[in-house]
Amino acid sequence: MVLAFISPAQAQEPVYNIENITGDLYRFQSDDYYGVFLVTDEGIILVDPISTATAIWLKGELKKRFDKSVLVVIYSHHHADHISGGKVFEDSAQFYISHENTKTMIPPGGEITIPTTTFAKGTYVELGGKRVEMYYLYRTHTNNLMSIYFPQEKTLFLADAFFVKAIYPEDLKETFITSTLESLTFLSKKLDFEIAIPSHGDWGNRADFLAYQQFLTKLNAEVTNRMLEGKSLSEIKAEIQMPDYRDWSNYEEGISAGIEKIYNGYFQGDYFPIKKVNPKYPRLAHEKNICGTVLIEYDLKEDGTTENFRIVDSVPPKVFERASINAAKKYKYFTKSYVKSVQTRIYFALEGACHWEFN
Q: Cis bond leading into 316, ω under 30°?
A: yes
Instruction: Identify which of 107-111, 241-245, 350-354 has the greatest average pLDDT.
Output: 241-245
Q: What tens digit of pLDDT does each residue of 298-312 get?
A: 999 999 999 999 999
More confident residue, 264 or 164: 164
Distance (Å, rounded) from C-alpha 334 to C-alpha 284?
Answer: 35
pLDDT for 1 equals 33
Which of the four pLDDT bands, split at 50, 70 and 90, describes residue 182?
A: confident
CA distances from 178 to 85, 91, 245, 327 (A): 32, 41, 20, 18
pLDDT for 171 equals 86
DSSP annotation of 326: H
Over residues 158-165, the mean pLDDT reads 96
Residue in 164, 132, 128 with CA at minimum distance from that of residue 148: 132
Beta-carbon-side half-sphere exposure of residue 67 (alpha carbons within 13 Å): 0
Q: Judge whether residue 204 has pLDDT over 50.
A: yes
Distance (Å, rounded) from C-alpha 156 to C-alpha 197?
Answer: 6
Cβ neighbours of residue 169 closer than 8 Å, sequence gap 6 or more: 250, 253, 254, 256, 257, 258
Sort 313 into a burial class: Cβ within 10 Å, 0-12 / 13-18 / 19+: middle
Q: Judge whether residue 11 has pLDDT over 80.
A: no
Q: What is the pTM of this model?
A: 0.83
Mean residue pLDDT of the chain comes to: 90
Instruction: Identify which of 11-15, 66-70, 103-107, 271-275 has the greatest average pLDDT.
Output: 66-70
Over residues 218-246, the mean pLDDT reads 93
pLDDT for 352 equals 61
Residue in 264, 344, 262 with CA at minimum distance from that of residue 299: 344
